[in-house]
């Protein structure tokens, strides 16, 4: 069997890979274009390197976000191209006693700010070491144009992995690189072990004649995914600072899908709710946002009208950019369902008081 990465090593082989990807796109039950199928190869391989070759340096790291929802929980019907990872905050706290570290770093605003600055420096130092390890491993592939670099200005939280493309699509909504997003002020547990395979592996003619990457990852626990996503929408809808809506509409789509399709988790997990609210209140304080209001049944999922129009515009661009496996529901339908869910969830939360 031919290793799929062997095609990248010569121009002639890259032309062959382009034909394979075009064939796969024509036969993909998900309706994915060739450029998305190609990027997914690298997303899966990077996940394999992270979790199976210990590039994460022994830290507890949760795989979450849209890509986890798509590839681990089959909850959303869109191509998610980023790898969203959270290093458990205590792993970068330089303390063996997590409870004591939490108490010390959350007892006052001054201590919270001090922790945030120190944690940011530790994450940046860790990310620099990580990129060196990753680039050392990527060099083993012998593929020109394959490399990783830290995005400037993000304190080590964003790492771009560049790979040589053979498939392209005009006007694509897709990023040209694989984006790793690391967080060091959040939870990296609890997690659930999940297998991850490529979308190419679903095409029999390709999978039977090629070795394709697969990974075993630690996906964020579904109860926590639900509340991470719900609190994210609450923040977007209530924060005072201007919001960049580029590539943001996916969050409303994801939450709608989660509440309808995620079978393994529930918003009724009060443990997950309280832990997520406590973490975001302590580590992610944002002007105008009260995560504690959620505990009182004041969750907000629907943005103000002006912001809603901008988010809809981004959603329409993601649809025309081919990010979805099939034609998704209209943004108006999504918002209508979320308004209903907002009422139901707040009713549940008020009943707990």
- Residue 174: pLDDT band with limits 50, 70, 90: low
- Residue 84: pLDDT band with limits 50, 70, 90: very high
Structure tokens at 155: 């304190």
Residues 17 and 30 in one domain: yes
Residues 302 and 231 in one domain: yes
Residues 246 and 169 in one domain: no
Summarised one tens digit per residue, pLDDT across range 225-267 is: 999 999 999 999 999 999 999 999 999 999 999 999 888 888 9
The single residue listed with the structure tokens 């926590």 is 224
Residues 69 and 21 in one domain: yes
Residues 123 and 256 in one domain: no
pLDDT for residue 92 is more than 90: no
Strand 61-64: give its sheet, edge to edge.
147-150, 158-162, 178-186, 82-88, 61-64, 214-220, 191-197
C-alpha span between 230 and 269 (Å, rounded): 13
- Residue 79: pLDDT band with limits 50, 70, 90: confident
Residues 168 and 245 in one domain: no
Q: How many CB atoms lie within 10 A of CB 224?
A: 26
Q: What is the pLDDT of residue 315?
A: 96
Q: What is the pLDDT of residue 170?
A: 64
Residues 169 and 272 in one domain: no
pLDDT for residue 344 is more than 80: yes
Residues 131 and 24 in one domain: yes
Residues 38 and 76 in one domain: yes
Over residues 83-108, mean pLDDT: 90
Q: What is the pLDDT of residue 173?
A: 59
Angle formed by the axes of helices 98-106 and 109-138, nearest 10°: 130
C-alpha span between 120 and 110 (Å, rounded): 15
Over residues 86-92, mean pLDDT: 91
The single residue listed with the structure tokens 């995914």 is 225
pLDDT for residue 184 is more than 80: no
How much of the chain is in helix, strand and coil states, percent to nearest 5? 55, 15, 35
Percent of residues, the chain, with pLDDT higher than 90: 78
Boundary-marking domain end, from 220, 244, 266 = 220
Q: pTM of the predicted model, to two decimals?
A: 0.91
> Average pLDDT, whole number, for the chain?
93
Q: Which domain holds residue 109?
A: 1-220
Q: What is the pLDDT of residue 194?
A: 98
Q: What is the pLDDT of residue 235?
A: 98
Residue whose C-alpha is closest to residue 74's, from 261, 298, 299: 261
pLDDT for residue 172 is more than 70: no
Boundary-marking domain end, from 220, 254, 287 = 220
Q: What is the pLDDT of residue 285?
A: 86
Over residues 288-295, mean pLDDT: 97
Residue whose C-alpha is closest to residue 221's, from 146, 273, 159: 273
Residues 2 and 52 in one domain: yes
Task: Provide the number of structural domains found in the chain.
Answer: 2
Q: What is the pLDDT of residue 171?
A: 59
Q: What is the pLDDT of residue 179?
A: 95
pLDDT for residue 71 is more than 80: yes
Over residues 324-347, mean pLDDT: 95
Residues 193 and 264 in one domain: no
Q: How many helices (H) and strands (E) does the chain have?
A: 12, 9
Structure tokens at 163: 């790979």
Residues 216 and 228 in one domain: no
Q: What is the pLDDT of residue 139?
A: 98
C-alpha span between 37 and 153 (Å, rounded): 30
Over residues 317-335, mean pLDDT: 91
Burial of 111 (0-12, 13-18, 19+ CB in 10 A): middle
Boundary-marking domain end, from 220, 243, 269 = 220
């Amino acid at each position: 069997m031919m290793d799929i990465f062997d095609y990248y090593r010569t121009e002639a082989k890259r032309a062959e890979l382009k034909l394979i990807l075009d064939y796969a796109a024509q036969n993909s039950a998900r309706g994915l274009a060739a450029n998305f199928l190609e990027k997914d190869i690298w997303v899966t391989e990077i996940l394999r390197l992270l979790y199976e070759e210990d590039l994460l340096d022994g830290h507890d790291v949760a795989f979450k976000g849209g890509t986890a929802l798509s590839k681990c929980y089959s909850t959303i019907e869109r191509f998610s191209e980023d790898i969203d990872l959270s290093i458990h905050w205590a792993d970068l706290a330089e303390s063996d006693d997590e409870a004591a570290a939490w108490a010390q770093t959350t007892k006052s605003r001054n201590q919270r700010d001090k922790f945030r600055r120190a944690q940011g420096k530790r994450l940046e130092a860790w990310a620099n070491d990580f990129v060196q390890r990753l680039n050392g491993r990527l060099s083993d592939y012998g593929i020109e144009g394959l490399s990783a670099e830290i995005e400037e200005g993000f304190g080590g939280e964003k790492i771009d992995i560049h790979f040589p493309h053979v498939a392209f699509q005009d006007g694509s909504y897709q990023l040209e690189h694989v984006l790793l997003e690391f967080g060091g002020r959040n939870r990296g547990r609890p997690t659930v072990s999940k297998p991850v395979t490529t979308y190419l592996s679903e095409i029999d003619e390709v999978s039977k004649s090629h070795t394709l990457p697969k990974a075993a990852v630690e996906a964020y626990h579904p109860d926590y995914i639900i509340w991470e996503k719900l609190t994210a929408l609450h923040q977007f809808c209530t924060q005072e600072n201007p919001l960049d809506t580029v590539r943001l509409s996916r969050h409303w789509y994801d939450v709608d899908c989660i509440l309808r399709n995620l079978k393994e988790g529930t918003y009724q997990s009060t443990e997950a709710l309280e832990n997520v609210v406590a973490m975001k209140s302590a580590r992610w304080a944002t002007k105008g946002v009260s995560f504690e209001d959620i505990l009182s049944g004041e969750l907000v999922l629907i943005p103000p009208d002006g912001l809603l129009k901008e988010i809809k515009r981004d959603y329409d661009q993601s649809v025309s950019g081919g990010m979805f496996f099939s034609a998704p529901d209209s943004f108006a339908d999504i918002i209508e369902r979320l308004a209903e869910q907002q009422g139901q969830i707040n009713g549940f939360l008020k009943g707990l008081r």
